[in-house]
Chain A
Amino acid sequence: MNMASSLNSCSTRLVAADQLVAVAQECLNQQMRFLMAWHDWDDQTCVVRYLLSQKDHAEFVLLEVRDTDTLPSLAALVPLLGWYEREMHDLGGLEFSGHPESFPLIIHEGFSISPPPLGRTAADNPLQAHLQGSYEPPSMPEVQGDQVQDLYWGPVRADVVETGEFHYSYIGEAILHYHPRLFFKHRGMEARFAGQDAARSVYLAERVSGVGSACHALAYCQAVENAWGIEVPLRAQLLRVIIVELERLYNHFHYFGQLAKTTTLKVGAATGFLMEERVKQLASQLTGSRYLRSLLCVGGLRRDLQAEHLAHALEGIIDEGEAYLNRLHQTATHLDRLMGTGILSLESAFDQGATGPVARASGLDRDLRRDHPYAAYHKLRFNVPVREKGDAMARSEVRAESLREALALLVQASGRLKTGPVQAEYTPPSGEQQGLGWAETPRGTLMYAVRIRDGRLQRVKIKSPSFSNWRVFPLTVHGTNLMDYAINEASFGLTIAGCDR
């Protein structure tokens, strides 16, 4: 049986495996950018897909390689694909010949799972295998030298933080090499969707990355709506904007609290966290959930929200938020630590796949809300802040501007609300469909690709912004010093749950 469906919102091009490198080069020459890669099975046949965005063009490009599970690696040409290929190897059992970093990524040393959980036979029985093994230290290329010292930090680290294991090789204060081992938290989220009712799996998307619950719900719903051709009513579109901009707002306040904490600005940190708390309390009064969960559904919203007076409710937060950002921007001791810290060049940002505020701070002017509009963003006015320097300072400036834009968007969107339905009527079609959904989260590009058959999810691919930015982050650590590490990490604003999935 052939796959009856094709992916919406994309112009698809079938590529033979032996042509892949040449075609990828051609795409790069046309200034396209790779966004993600994933594999799927058409019955027993392997399909590998590469999603690209075009310059100044809303339509995505999809390269599709069929009928082989051994492909040439594109990682040397397109470094950001390195992790996607390693993931397809670990979880799908695919081979990528000539991969420059052929180490395990998701499945740690000491662990194994057979057959692979997203492999050829997995569709018949998704839960036939379990991840098994015991802890082993990572196999690392050794850094040798007289005074080189090694520090392993984690998986359980100080403070209330997510699990990850960080390895530093350093001399004195200078970090020679840094390697984060992630994926301790890998929960197999993509496989969890398989076989579920597509209309009712929003709750899973909401739990991929808790502080991105609303954006994950939105991208997931849009993917299913895209597959099924559902038009969401305007009121729901505006309310969706309000929901995800509230999420951006509390994330950005948290970001500044965390950043101030690393520069040892105690009141600055406390203020950021207090502002975050106030936004969450406002969110729960408006929606019943501090994390904006259980609100979205395929076709719109589960229930209407009374957000007409949001601008009024936000007044205090707008004034104090502005005063807070200004105060931070006048604090020399804070700014001194950010300037010149953790520089990411435009070239590395592009090649390695940086996204969101991190990318925009290095001069990469991209924002899905503007470039590939969704929900009601095409009806709203907002700016996309960009900086050139690529240091922690630039990253925090982009976040500050983006926080202000979020506040302005909330006021604008709530002012546009008119009464109307918040749910589209639809009947899930039979047969097979595919869809793509996306959202610009507080951390950058989030994508969901779904394949549905007779209302049930067959394959869900999630590309989270932190998966992209965790790959980029170590590049800004090599050659810097230990004192700046925490500041630099905070300036990236990463999460691990979204990356590990």
Chain B
Amino acid sequence: MPLWTWTGLKAGKAATRWPRSGSDGQEGVLGMPRLDIDKCRSGCDLCISSCPTQAIHLVEGEPVIDYGRCIVCQRCVEECPEGAMQSSYDWAFGVRQRSDLTWSAALESHEAEHLRKRIASSQRRSLHIRHVDAGSCNACEAEISALDNPFYNLHRLGIFFTPSPRFADLLMVTGPVTAPMHDVLLATWEAMPEPRSVIATGTCAVSGAPMDGGYAGGAGLEKILPVDIWLPGCPPNPAALIHALLLLLERMPQRVTGGQYAE
């Protein structure tokens, strides 16, 4: 037997079965900060000044985080004197509505609205993805590529990458959309057959942060494409990507509503 076949067989299966069972592989990976509002001292704005991407704002005297701008740098956690900002392992942040990434008092359900635009059942079984790099730092690509490594082995979920937009059901966009990528991105989307979906992959693609406001353009997808799933994270790890993909296919539930992470 050829050497490589033999070693491959001997090594056995490296793939996790997550989310059905087994490890998601993200032990220790820090996620978005959690806010324990009861510990927050009024009149203090240290978390706001500590945040490099202006992800935190005061609303009626209380801090509100827009996770769509969070790059998981943990600085607010370090600088909060009261321990109200806490490190967490919350990274499965894919949501259908951009507004779900911001804390809101009225927890309205968007699910009803969503049901009207159900994913065609044929797509729920298998999905073909075209990825476009619209100016990323390359960490998001590295995590998307990791989906094909033997540990995550995306094929087991019936999800594949395709070179041609003409065969793609889903466009995954990374990066803040730099000026030269704007038209290129739209052309790729135009080339896709309907029904087609879009995932804004990574904080850059969600809001442009921390790359927005520069001379080379780029504030994310908000005003550019109709987005089906917003997935902040810098970068979103492979399990967060899988969660977002399965969320799109209605095979996993959304974890975050109104900025709150459900266990």
Contact = CB atoms under 8 A, between A and B. Distances in A.
Given A158-B163, A286-B28, A330-B3, A187 B216 contact: yes
Contacts of B3: 327, 330-331
Contacts of B143: 290
Interface stretch (B61-69, B144-152, B221-229): B144-152
Given A270-B150, A277-B151, A302 B211 contact: no
Interface in A267-281: 267-268, 270-271, 273-274, 276-277, 280-281
A200 B52 contact: yes
Interface in B89-148: 130-146, 148
A133 B149 contact: no
B207 to A, nearest CB: 14
Interface in A426-471: none
A91 B136 CA distance: 20
B188 interface: yes
A127 B137 CA distance: 21
A156 B132 contact: yes
B232 interface: no
Interface stretch (A1-9, A65-73, A208-216, A382-390): A208-216
B195 interface: no
A58 interface: no
Interface string B221-243: 00000000000001101000000
B73 A210 contact: no
A163 B181 contact: yes
B185 to A, nearest CB: 8
A265 B4 contact: yes
A158 B166 CA distance: 12
Interface in A402-424: none
Contacts of B83: none
A146 to B, nearest CB: 31
B218 A291 contact: no
A474 interface: no
Interface in B39-83: 52, 71-75, 78
Contact of B235 (A188, A210, A286, A495): A210
A156 B150 contact: no
B29 interface: yes
Q: Is the interface of B mostly helix, strand, loop or mixed?
A: loop
B21 interface: no
A267 B8 contact: yes
Given A210-B235, A273-B149, A290-B29, A184 B7 contact: no
B140 A192 contact: no
Given A160-B144, A162-B138, A281-B25, A185 B210 contact: no
Contact of A291 (B7, B132, B139): B139
B72 A294 contact: yes
A131 interface: yes
Contacts of B176: 187
B184 A135 contact: yes
B178 interface: yes
A100 interface: no
Contacts of B183: 134-135
A159 B133 CA distance: 11
B211 A187 contact: yes
Query: Looking at A157, A266, A289, which has the most chain B CB atoms within 10 Å of its CB?
Result: A289
A105 interface: no
Interface residues of A, number: 71
Contacts of B11: 271
B200 to A, nearest CB: 16
Interface string A153-189: 0011111111100000000000000000001111110
B120 to A, nearest CB: 24
Interface size class of B (residues with CB under 8 A): 35 or more
B22 interface: no
B157 interface: no
Contacts of A155: 180-181, 184
A186 B176 CA distance: 11
B219 to A, nearest CB: 12
A360 interface: no
Contacts of A192: 210-211, 214
A287 B28 CA distance: 7
Contacts of B14: 274
Given A160-B144, A210-B235, A211-B142, A327 B4 contact: yes
Nearest to B9: A267
Contacts of B38: none
A191 interface: yes
Given A294-B74, A331-B3, A274 B149 contact: yes
A242 B254 CA distance: 37
B161 to A, nearest CB: 6
B199 to A, nearest CB: 13
26 contacts: A129-B215, A130-B217, A135-B183, A156-B130, A158-B163, A159-B161, A160-B131, A160-B148, A161-B141, A163-B181, A192-B210, A200-B75, A204-B210, A210-B139, A267-B8, A270-B150, A271-B7, A273-B149, A274-B150, A277-B25, A280-B146, A281-B25, A294-B30, A294-B74, A294-B75, A302-B78
Given A131-B215, A277-B146, A288-B30, 11 more contacts: A157-B163, A186-B135, A188-B214, A192-B214, A211-B139, A280-B146, A281-B27, A290-B143, A291-B142, A294-B73, A327-B3
Interface of B: 3-5, 7-8, 11, 14, 25-30, 52, 71-75, 78, 87, 130-146, 148-152, 161, 163, 165, 175-176, 178-181, 183-184, 188, 210-211, 213-218, 234-235, 237
